[in-house]
Chain A
Amino acid sequence: MPSNVNHEILANLHFTKEDLIEANAPESELELVDFYHDLNTETLKLTDNLEEEKEELKYLFTNSQGVEEQLTWQDAESRGLSLDQMVINFNEDDYEEAGFFERRRKWNPSGTITVQEDAINQSIGVEGARARVRKWGWLVIKRATTNSDGFFRTSSTRTKRVKYSLYFKHRPEFIVKAGTWFWNARDRGHRTHKRQSWNRHYTYGRRQLYAFVQNAAFDYYNRVVQRHNIKRPKFHMKISAKFNQCGSSEHRASVLTLLPVSRIKITRRNGNCNYRGSDGIYATTVHELTHAGHQKLDHGMFSIFHIGSDNRAILTESWAEGVETVLTNERYNALTDGSYISTNPRDIDAGQVRWGGFRQELRANQMNEYTPIVEDLIDNLNQNTNLATWPEDNVSGYNLNQIQSALDNCRDIDCWENNLRNNNVNATENNLDELFDYVREVRNNSNNW
């Protein structure tokens, strides 16, 4: 620092670098580790940060007769002595427990992060999130990613006291934002852990929402895309998780990359300000990611020149609604051994146990652009046999990959139907025209939306 620059020294700090010493280091370097350890312990004593460790240490105290006594913390407390009147006894021979200081022992910071899924009343691991291990409260020394059980374990360290934090993201795919583009969603632990693991279980609040979005996005990028062979959304997706806001979730198709706006917004509460439920948050995250995948598949579909097109609205929203329906039922039935019951009030009212089942109990002129056409192409339910005014559906057996491929580069309903018929072999394809009739009717009734 040049002498002519005004400055003020706030503190003189020294950070030891014990982790740089290899496991098979020579004796001289291991002695250095011992020294670092003692130095750190003494620093904690001077700054009154020893916490519970002070009860395990022994101390040297010189009494009024000039005699040096060895005291335990309990002895010192009973005699009213404070830490600054004593010196820590670093002589290992004076401790009964062999290797008490364990100065050279490496350990692996670890932990388990879970979230309570209220829709199915189960504890689920937070998967694919990034755990960080901090020394001195801020210096990140280790990183690890949680597995499907929410468990993480970093490489080993000699740093004895650490703090943990969890970031809801999975590079390079997505990062969950804390309701605004400017802040990452995270859980930053403030407690110091002395060679201890970190266990968290989110049952309420913002972190629970972040965990739901994390699990949904991780599932989409890492399981769904491969299993169903559908388009993966772009990398570096920013998903803003809105805890308090009531309203629709959004996929912003034309956000300019340089603007500080997340491409996807997930709200915890819907337009009625009712909590969506954990299955609802999974469903809406999947829905918006499906838009993002559709945009990557067919960028022109999301051009501003198609804004206001009823065909475009039906194609984009019915596709996303269908993927949402299939995946939500798939995931939660897998978690409950097939006993999942949707918590969507619309499904409950309709007496449906399947997520999104209520959509197949509507007449065409009751529907909006969120039609159940994708479900109708897949399942073997003909809702018309349940009620004569519901759509006639004699089509079944298509899969998400076929339906997505047929959608590629289409700008109207007829194109989608024709591609399904021409690009695939399906025993029910002669009934496609009959099925798509209700979708065309919905489009023509767009004034009702």
Chain B
Amino acid sequence: MRNIIFMSMVLILISCTDKNERELMNFDVQFRNSSSNALNIKGFDSDNNMIFQDEVLNSESSTQCQSVTEVFNGFGCSLDSLVFSFDNDKGYICSKRASDTSNLCFSSKTPFGDDPSFVSLGNSTFEFVITQEDFDNALDLPN
């Protein structure tokens, strides 16, 4: 009888099909401007509402946005697209929208997803760096 009870308890313990949600984590994400020019950054949600704006001087970092998700995945924060513009009206537009075919994002990196270009600063803080080369190669932005 004891064996039956023991086996029953083992069956219960080992046979659960869980919805093992991964726990939510907080990630602080920021931009760093290492170019020689000031950088203006605007972030939009999927309804085109501007939900992030910051002017980042050279060698400075932007205000942080806090991304709440399971795994680090770049700029979350409800952002759908980001516009980076220098004072010469050149810059970049990065978007998660398939409808955006402008190809105005950086050629080798993106602020969305866990792009390898993100720099980990420890304590779940990540930085996306805009370099002097990015300024040099900036694209003409539509009006």
A439 to chain B, nearest CB (A): 18
A302 CB within 8 Å of chain B: yes
A249 CB within 8 Å of chain B: yes
Binary contact track B64-78/A, C-beta < 8 Å → 1, others 0:
000111110100111
CB within 8 Å for A251 and B78 given contacts A272-B24, A350-B69: no
A284 to chain B, nearest CB (A): 6
Q: Which of A250, A352, A358 contacts B16 (CB 8 A)?
A: A250
Of the candidate stretches B54-62, B107-115, B123-131, B133-141, the one touching chain A is B107-115
Q: Are B70 and A316 closer than 8 Å at their CB atoms?
A: no
A289 to chain B, nearest CB (A): 11
Q: Are B110 and A387 closer than 8 Å at their CB atoms?
A: yes
Q: Are B113 and A387 closer than 8 Å at their CB atoms?
A: yes
Question: Chain B contact residues (Cβ within 8 angstroms of A): what range?
Answer: 35 or more
Q: Are A362 and B73 closer than 8 Å at their CB atoms?
A: yes
B101 to chain A, nearest CB (A): 9
B2 CB within 8 Å of chain A: no
Of the candidate stretches A140-148, A154-162, A171-179, A255-263, the one touching chain B is A255-263
Q: Are A259 and B8 closer than 8 Å at their CB atoms?
A: yes
CB within 8 Å for A389 and B113 given contacts A254-B11, A350-B73, A350-B76: yes
A112 CB within 8 Å of chain B: no
Q: Are A272 and B23 closer than 8 Å at their CB atoms?
A: yes
A271 to B11, CA, bound (A): 23
Q: Are A254 and B77 closer than 8 Å at their CB atoms?
A: no
Main SS of chain B's interface residues?
loop
Main SS of chain A's interface residues?
loop
Q: Are A349 and B69 closer than 8 Å at their CB atoms?
A: yes
A441 to chain B, nearest CB (A): 15
CB within 8 Å for A284 and B19 given contacts A349-B69, A351-B96, A390-B113: yes
Binary contact track A295-330/B, C-beta < 8 Å → 1, others 0:
000000010100100000000110010000000000
Most chain A CB within a 10 A radius of its CB, from B18, B78, B114: B18
Q: Are A351 and B45 closer than 8 Å at their CB atoms?
A: yes
Q: Are A349 and B17 closer than 8 Å at their CB atoms?
A: no
Binary contact track B7-32/A, C-beta < 8 Å → 1, others 0:
01001101111111111100000000
A207 CB within 8 Å of chain B: no
Query: Chain B interface (Cβ within 8 Å of chain A)?
Result: 8, 11-12, 14-24, 45-46, 67-71, 73, 76-80, 96-98, 110, 112-115
Q: List 14 A-B contacts (CB under 8 A).
A: A249-B18, A249-B19, A250-B16, A259-B8, A272-B23, A302-B15, A345-B69, A350-B78, A353-B46, A366-B73, A366-B114, A386-B97, A386-B98, A387-B113
